[in-house]
A and B are shown apart, each in its own frame.
Chain A
Amino acid sequence: MTASRLSSGGLVDRSRPVSFTFDGKSLSGFAGDTLASALIAEDRLLVGRSFKYHRPRGVLTAGSSEPNALLTIGTGARSEPNTRATVQELYDGLVAKSQNRWPSLDFDIGAFNSLLSPFLGAGFYYKTFMWPKAFWEKVYEPFIRMAAGLGKLTMESDPDRYEKAWAHCDLLVVGGGAAGLSAALTAGRAGLRVILADEDFLLGGSLNASRAAVGGVKAPDFAANAVSELSSLANVTLMPRTTVFGWFDDMVFGAAEKVQKHVAEPSHDRPVERLWRIVAKHAILATGAIERPLVFGGNDKPGILTASAVSTYVNRFGVTPGSRVAVFTSGGTGYRTAHDLKAAGIEVAAIIDTRDAAADRAPDGVKVHYRGAVVDTMGGKRLTGIITERSGFEEKIGCDALAMSGGWSPVIHLACQRGAKPVWSAEKQVFLAPESDPRLALAGAAAGLETLGEAIADGAAKAKAVLSALGKTAATADVPEVEEQDFAGHQPVWYVGGARSKAFVDYQNDVHVKDLALAQRENYTSIELTKRYTTSGMATDQGKIANVNATGIVASMRGVDPAVVGTTTFRPFYTPVSLGVIAGTSRDEHGRPVRRSPLHGWAEKNGAVFVEAGLWYRSSYFPKGEEKTWREAAHREVMAVRKAAGLCDVSTLGKIEVFGPDAAEFLNRLYCNPMLKLPVGKARYGLMLREDAMVHDDGTVSRLAENHFFITTTTAMAGEVLSHMEFYHQAQWPELKVRFVSVSDQWAQMAIAGPKARAILSRVVDADLSDEGFPYLSARDVRLKGGLSARLFRISFSGELAYELSVPAAYGEAVADYIMECGAEHGITPYGLEALNILRIEKGFVTHAELNGTVTADDAGYGKMMGMQKPDFVGKQMATRFGLTAADRMQLVGLKPVDPKNEIRAGAHLLREGAEPSMANDQGLVTSNCISPVLGHPIALALLKSGRERMGETIIVFDRLRGDEFPAIVCPPVFIDPENERLKGEAQVSPQAKEEASR
């Protein structure tokens, strides 16, 4: 045993053992452990294999910057890959598995990649896998995917709940360490509404790993006292386990709270994670600093940790990563760790200091190597020793752990997420956040301060500044005294020369110093290019460990100052955030609510097959008996409508009521066709254009009273048209006295179409439905025979005698059932969207398949409908512009295949006979198609250049994707009953039309 639990000490609760498994082996720790500290206590330093070379890797840090100890936590649907063991709170029953190894962590075939490493340098993808081209998809990529990578996602659905919430405060303090607690205390005592958030489950930050005395008590006790005082303040909200991951406009911060990520079986009463958007008047970032590793040969062996991590494991968790620990440092931090180790009774093998001499005092009896360098390390899956070099002399030092420190990088991420560029401080040799917003301040280590005393004083000072900005005064309270040994700062050594093996910069992506050098040699010198070429800083830790070192190394290679090289761009998220918490409650039916028509139950009863249309479930067809395909059912439904009658649910159409003395004027300006003189009791087809004269939407406009209109829109454009109307009413013509409201959900609407429609409806509606009593395009309030108020419209989307009946939504199903009952003797048939579509194609009626945003009213054949005499309507001005009146515009036509066996399919392009298929030769496209049950052969609607002049021309239907290429004849888009005889119903049907329908 080398790494072990110390006999005493730490903030873990030794009375509460916690059991967990790692790669199937049962292990135990204590409440208060992280998974990493518990693994170290069990001498499990090897926890993973690296991304590319499959090198053995161990815990490197004690916090969220961890690049190595990425494990899959949980089982089944709750298994979560790439969880950092260093922040994962230990809980009873935790199941952890290592990643990127096969067959096992100890024996990993992929480690063979290490032998290939000369070929796997930066840019190797681009150079190696260039040819043969066909190999990429079949050979190279699958190989790379198998060999490289991290954990695997479960394919099971997430069983847990997530939620989102807003929070508001005067001051948000990000980070609950020395500076953060001090800021929160100062602001909280003065009565500000304060939120203090910290990613850790235990507030206190580095205080919890410090042996200093603060305000006369031990540092962790000072933290606990501060937390208990803050908890007692009603105006302060403490949010442990909450990572503030982003700073957005208007002082909105994003934060992810892990509510139940520390239990095996989360309670279903609460979410497992919560996404917070915190609106703060002011914010103090007390986010601390991340310790940099030193970049030296063999710096990635399990057992090599950052010095502060070693101190944290020893002081906070009461575990040691080794029994004989060496220290390699470029400043005072290593000495502090040496003292921490010594105080815990752990042997310190030596301190290797890169400086010439130091003010720092080593613990008694510990040998210090000044101007020292570690050039290589020994051991395989565990460090067994280091090789140091000084003035040409080398020495082997046996040790089972190494604490290294290359200095500190302030955590300035949040402050730089909105475009502010970090500023290099030559004095402190760190990147600091520039001042970018007076409402955001950095405090403590995040502001480049080094000692606990400075951090506590700075936190209080920054909070006082917020108080005065908000017009409050701070209660007088002493800033506590800190008694701590002084340690000097660091003299950065970006790269330790003389490395005998790989010196890693980005551990997680396996980027070493030579990769950075290669990028410079190949002229990817900008740090943003170096990053992308080498992948340094592109792993899930987003370069927390690597980036500043990479900047320093590139600066040395280029012979410039780090200020010249700069940093890559900081973006949210600070640490990985689960997709689950970003989705919140918006999943499944909550993310995509199901809209059911008021006639859904009626359709279900009649055996409808439903189709999703946007959020709507619409009845597609109603199969009967032996019918196996939608087409069989739809064709039967079509023939029923043409010969007898059908009932179709059209409730999904958008419906808007328009009221007011200016309602007619308003609609007259919105529709391109005239509406002013629409008589009361009449309906009219209406075409809305956009300002660029393209068709926006179509529908019907009915005038129910002088100042009361009812309009319909297409299903898809219901919301869009309402917004369009609101825009013109509010932003353009606010002087018009008009009010309107969507009533799409208030009315159930059904189409009753076919020669028997009148006979059937006469039994339902208490009104004279004769041609004289209720002529074509009538639109009136009516009463049903039972007394129910309803609206009846004589409009037709099938070319048959047809009505649309609107009843209050709740009555829809009952009325539809009753119509079916009344129509049974006449052969009434429910028909769905498919039959509706065939019926309208046979009649050449357009939908958004034709009105696709590039089509003008004239293109669709409605040119004459436009009320060009009107002084103004939306789209009028552009309708006459040159490009929109050109003779070769694509116009709506019909198509019939020369050989009726050829089905013309929508999406096919049109070519002149003999023309090469090319964009230049493109003549148009097929927009809708069907096999006409009436005509017995395929028909289609198409948009064709100068189409209306080309009737009778033979044209080639060309579809390379589906292998279609055959001739078709251009014809008018109305395939049946061009005289509209059938609208009149049974009595008036001409013999010719009758014959057509019966064919």
Chain B
Amino acid sequence: MASLITCPHCGSRPKEEFSIRGEVRSRPEPAAPFETWYRYVYVRDNPKGRQKEYWHHVLGCRRWLVVERDTLTHEVYGVTDAAAYRASEVKEAAE
């Protein structure tokens, strides 16, 4: 587990200020097939290696962040605001 997370709004902050929700999964469209929803709600990849996770800066700016980190080495590759991440995801899907 990383000791420090660089919040895009608050800078480098100790991990105790955050709470972690788990891996990032895109919420399907309401009309998506049941199987897609089922996978979204119940199935986690739990990779050994790189993973994107939702972290909430609860004791800071209260923004949800997407932290990409290595579950094995704990290296953090990047931290993005979740809203910006979602926007880019939506844009990608449109293209």
Contact = CB atoms under 8 A, between A and B. Distances in A.
Given A691-B41, A877-B37, A732 B27 contact: yes
A723 B62 CA distance: 8
Contact of A727 (B1, B42, B54, B76): B54
Contacts of B21: 727
A252 interface: yes
A726 B74 contact: no
Interface in B7-47: 12, 14, 19, 21, 27-28, 30, 34, 37-38, 40-42
Nearest to A691: B41
A734 interface: yes
Interface string A696-733: 00000000000000000000000000010011001110
Chain B residues touching A, majority SS: mixed
Interface string A403-441: 000000000000000000000000000000000000000
A731 B86 contact: yes
A871 B30 contact: yes
A480 to B, nearest CB: 37
B34 A877 contact: yes
Interface string A859-895: 0000000000001100011100100000000000000
Contact of A723 (B19, B30, B85): B19
A307 interface: no
A878 B27 contact: no
Contacts of A249: 1-4, 74
Interface residues of A, number: 22
B41 A877 contact: yes
B30 A872 contact: yes
Contacts of B42: 692
Nearest to B27: A732
B58 A723 contact: yes
Contact of A734 (B14, B38, B83): B83
B3 A248 contact: yes
- Looking at B1, B3, B14, B56, the one whose CB has the most chain A CB atoms below 10 A away is B3
A732 B86 contact: yes
A458 B58 CA distance: 45
Interface string B68-82: 000000101000011
Nearest to B85: A731
Contacts of B1: 249
B8 to A, nearest CB: 12
Nearest to A729: B83
Interface in A613-669: none
A876 B34 CA distance: 11
Given A249-B74, A723-B19, A727-B56, A734 B87 contact: yes
Interface string A911-928: 000000000000000000
B63 interface: yes
A460 interface: no
Identify the interface centre among A250, A691, A692: most chain B CB within 10 Å of its CB. A250
A982 interface: no
Contacts of A734: 82-83, 86-87
Given A249-B3, A731-B54, A731-B83, A878 B64 contact: no
B3 A726 contact: no
A730 B83 contact: yes
A457 interface: no
A503 to B, nearest CB: 42
A877 B28 CA distance: 10
B80 to A, nearest CB: 11
Contact of A726 (B12, B37, B64): B64
Contacts of A872: 30
A423 B54 CA distance: 38
B56 A252 contact: no
Given A249-B74, A692-B41, A877-B34, A277 B83 contact: no
B34 to A, nearest CB: 7
A277 B14 contact: yes
Contacts of B34: 877, 881
Nearest to B30: A872
Contact of A730 (B27, B28, B37, B82): B82
B19 A730 contact: no
Interface in B43-67: 54, 56, 58, 62-64, 66
A279 interface: yes
Interface in A228-263: 248-250, 252
Contacts of A726: 56, 62-64
A166 B85 CA distance: 31
Contacts of A723: 19, 56, 58
Nearest to A872: B30
A881 B87 CA distance: 30
Contacts of A881: 34, 38
B64 A279 contact: no
Nearest to A692: B41
Nearest to A166: B14
A836 B76 CA distance: 49
A878 B83 CA distance: 25
Given A727-B54, A872-B30, A878 B4 contact: no
A249 B28 CA distance: 35
A873 to B, nearest CB: 9
Nearest to B84: A734
A131 B42 CA distance: 47
Contacts of A871: 30
A250 B3 contact: yes
Given A727-B21, A730-B64, A730-B83, A250 B56 contact: no
Contacts of B14: 166, 277
B2 A731 contact: no
Nearest to A248: B3
A877 B30 contact: yes
Contacts of A279: 4, 12
Nearest to B72: A419
Contacts of B4: 249-250, 252, 279
Contact of A731 (B30, B40, B74, B82): B82
A878 B2 CA distance: 34
A729 to B, nearest CB: 8
Given A252-B3, A691-B41, A734-B86, A727 B64 contact: yes
A877 B85 CA distance: 24
29 contacts: A249-B1, A249-B4, A249-B74, A250-B2, A250-B3, A250-B4, A250-B76, A252-B4, A277-B3, A277-B14, A692-B41, A723-B58, A726-B62, A726-B63, A727-B54, A727-B56, A730-B64, A731-B54, A731-B82, A731-B86, A732-B86, A734-B86, A871-B30, A876-B30, A877-B28, A877-B30, A877-B37, A881-B34, A881-B38
The 8 closest A-B CB pairs, nearest first, are: A734-B83, A731-B82, A252-B3, A872-B30, A877-B37, A250-B4, A730-B64, A250-B3
Interface of B: 1-4, 12, 14, 19, 21, 27-28, 30, 34, 37-38, 40-42, 54, 56, 58, 62-64, 66, 74, 76, 81-83, 85-87
Given A252-B3, A734-B82, A876-B30, 5 more contacts: A248-B3, A250-B76, A691-B40, A731-B86, A871-B30
